[in-house]
């Protein structure tokens, strides 16, 4: 099944973002290490991911990656509700990131960029 997704997203806690920024790469968050791959979401999935796993966590970061640049180690696999999610089976490099912005926590949840696509 072909995917027409250009950008995929990773939510980082502050310490996880600092590790990637300072070391130039990361093997991921504890859940990524436990599962054996780095979890990503599409633009349509990332808000639900934030609500489900990061609901009350402040100081988050939203990073965008071009799925094509991640290469063959990126696999699309069934996850929540049988939807296909992008999973990276190798370390993630800072040089592969397109952009990263703060993901502020508001009274109604995290405030995502309005132009997420």
- pLDDT confidence of residue 2: 52
* Backbone torsions φ then ψ of 94, nearest 5 degrees: -55, -35
Phi-psi region of 109 (alpha: psi -120 to 50; beta: other; left: phi over 0): left
| 12: enclosing H helix or E strand | strand 7-12
Q: Under 8 Å CB-to-CB from 79, ≥6 apart: which residues? A: 85
Mean pLDDT of the chain, nearest integer: 92
| Closest residue by Cα to residue 4 from 108, 78, 84 | 84
At 80, the pLDDT band (50, 70, 90 cuts) reads confident
Give the distance between the most distant pair of CA atoms in the chain: 39
| 88: enclosing H helix or E strand | strand 84-88
**20-67 pLDDT per residue, tens:** 999 999 999 999 999 999 999 999 999 999 999 999 999 999 999 999
Work out the average pLDDT over 4-14: 87
Entry pTM:
0.91
CATH code assigned to 13-103: 3.20.170.20
Per-residue DSSP letters for 25-87? EE---HHHHHHTSEE-B-TTTHHHHHHHHSTT--SEEEEEEEGGGGGGGEEEEE-GGG-EEEE
């Amino acid at each position: 099944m072909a995917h027409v997704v250009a950008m995929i997203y990773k939510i980082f806690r502050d310490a996880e973002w600092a590790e990637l920024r300072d070391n130039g790469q990361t093997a991921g968050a504890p859940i990524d290490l436990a599962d054996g791959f780095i979890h990503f979401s599409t633009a349509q999935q990332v808000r639900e991911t934030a609500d489900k796993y990061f609901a009350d966590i402040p100081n988050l970061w939203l990073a965008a990656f071009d799925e094509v640049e991640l290469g063959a180690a990126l696999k699309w696999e069934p996850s929540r509700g049988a939807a296909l999610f992008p999973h990276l089976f190798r370390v993630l490099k800072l040089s592969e990131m397109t952009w990263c912005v703060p993901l502020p926590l508001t009274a109604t949840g995290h405030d995502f960029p309005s132009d997420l696509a």
